[in-house]
């Protein structure tokens, strides 16, 4: 089950957050996400931002 939500990043720009990604849909969901989006993986409890060069994990403090 994958839920896609419209959200806002830290600068108030629109982004997409993908919540509750099942592992089998993970790669597909990540590849279909626009550059600049923030993605939260609930199973890993990690936040990622998609850059042109690829995914960068954001460490949550």
Give residue 11's pLDDT: 66
Instruction: Supply the pLDDT for residue 4.
Output: 57
Beta bridge partners of 7: 15
List domains and CATH numbers for the chain: 3-58 (3.40.1620.70)
What is the DSSP-derived secondary structure letter of residue 23? H
Q: Give the helix/strand (H/E) hosting 5.
A: strand 3-8
Q: What is the pTM of this model?
A: 0.48
pLDDT at 36: 80
Confidence (pLDDT) at 18: 57
Give whole-number Cα distances, 15 to 24, 36, in Å.
Answer: 23, 7
Per-residue pLDDT of the chain (61 residues; tens, 9 = 90+): 455 566 665 666 666 665 555 556 666 766 777 788 777 776 777 788 888 887 888 876 6
Q: Which of 33, 61, 24, 28 is nearest to 45 (CA)?
A: 61
Which pLDDT score, from 0 to 100, does residue 23 have? 59
């Amino acid at each position: 089950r994958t839920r896609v939500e419209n959200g806002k990043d830290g600068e108030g720009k629109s982004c997409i957050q993908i919540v509750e990604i099942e592992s089998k849909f993970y790669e597909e969901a990540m590849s279909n996400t626009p550059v600049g989006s923030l993605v939260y993986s609930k199973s890993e409890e990690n936040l990622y931002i998609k850059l042109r060069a690829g995914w960068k994990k954001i460490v949550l403090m």
